[in-house]
Amino acid sequence: MRKLLLLSLVIFSSCTVQKINKSVSKSQVFDQGHLGFMLVDPEKDKVLVDINSDKYFIPASNTKLFTFYTSYTILGDSLVNGLNYLEKGDSLIFWGTGDPSLLHPDLKNTKAIEFLKKQEKQLYLLDNFDQVSAFGSGWSWDWYNAYYAAERSAMPVYGDIVRFAKNEGDSTFTIYPPRFDSAMKLIEPKGNSSSSFRRNHLENKFDYFVTSEATDKRFETDIPFITSAHLTAQLISEAVGKEITLISNTNYLEEEPKKLLTAQADSIYSQMMKISDNFLAEQLLLLVSDQLDNKLSTADAIAYAKENLFADLPDEPLWVDGSGLSSRNMFTPRSIIALLGKIRAEIPMDKIKAYFPAGGESGTIRNWYPADEGQPPYIYAKTGTLSMSNALSGYLLTKSGKTLHFSCLMNNYPISGNELKTELTKVLYYIHDKY
């Protein structure tokens, strides 16, 4: 009887796996483009689905999984270094580490400002901005006005964006930081939009309109501003209430600086992962580089991670930026599966759930992959979206109590992302329900 029961369970399990494979491989939706899909049961060390897992795909924001693991491993989950500084007689010389939290409209970190306010020494900002290119390799030039492509910089202030916001019922909108109020120009409404804010391509001047239809509505719009060492010195000087002199003596960069701890890394990871914040992802790699050798280099951070953290992956990551905005990033599903295994082995599941978007509940998948009514989320995964790329990789919790690892990368589909996600919802729920 016991042998019969075990045999029937094996047969049932085998049939379930076959049906899962068929739901993916025979899908008329997935058949319209290039699909890479891998599903693994780590407890059994068993591959349940393997479709093109050894092929390279453009991962879009699945790149942030690599950024997250690298940052968590190097920076930890406590405070990050927000400022490098030297004390020379009556002078305090400071420079940026890539910390994105300084006066960020969501993170609202002011520790560096408070530190500088208390100083009785003369304040000097050391210009190390040429270490960081504003845009990543392969980024599109016409993203300059898009919130998701804020400029990278050695010392970001206010998240390197201007936030235009209005609460419901308010007749006017606010500008953060307010110093850009004088850079605004009212224009005639265009098209069907009730409000619009647009920066001039090559200068920090903004055209806008807000119609009467928008008076009773809430809105929030983030527009990147053009960064520079000179503007950063001005912005920090205004926040500190003291004169700050910009200097360019790079010899100071060769000295071992003191470091000011500022923001909680946990809060940066959570926002970066949940809402797929490209700016935070890019700046995290700069923080990693600063931690490694007091220099700011995305390429150096990636090279270190590939050699020391990811040498054991099945396929070499073709990795060029922190966010996944570049279509030059390419990973294989089986390497992402291996990375998910490393994350789960080294980070408690409750922390993973706090960092990752949760299906039907939070972040970029709050409107997708919902659990049954009254049940907790069963998908904790990172999304990815570019013009011809959709991705979802992470952890799937089954009704039987298993935690599976999956990676789905989809490139070059002539249909909408919503159609792909609708089909993927069916597949993932079936796995959740039956396996």
> Could you read off the pLDDT of 307-334 as tens digits, one per residue?
999 999 999 999 999 999 999 999 999 9
What is the reported pLDDT for 2? 57
Q: How far apart are CA 379 and CA 369, in angstroms?
A: 7
The arithmetic mean of pLDDT across residues 26-32, rounded, is 96
The arithmetic mean of pLDDT across residues 420-435, rounded, is 98
For residue 65, give the 3-state DSSP assignment.
Answer: helix
The arithmetic mean of pLDDT across residues 155-172, rounded, is 93
What is the reported pLDDT for 6? 41
> Could you read off the pLDDT of 367-397 as tens digits, one per residue?
999 999 999 999 999 999 999 999 999 999 9
What is the reported pLDDT for 3? 53
Name the CA dihedral angle for 208, 212, 214, 215, rounded to a multiple of 10 degrees: 110
Which phi and psi (to 5°) does residue 389 adopt?
A: -140, 130
The arithmetic mean of pLDDT across residues 259-268, rounded, is 97
Residue 221 confidence (pLDDT) above 80: yes
In order of their start, the domains of the chain are 2-59+330-434 (3.40.710.10), 81-265 (no CATH)
Find the helix or strand (DSSP H, E) in which 184 lies: strand 184-186
304: Cβ–Cβ under 8 A, 6 or more apart, which residues? 288, 292
Q: What is the pTM of this model?
A: 0.95
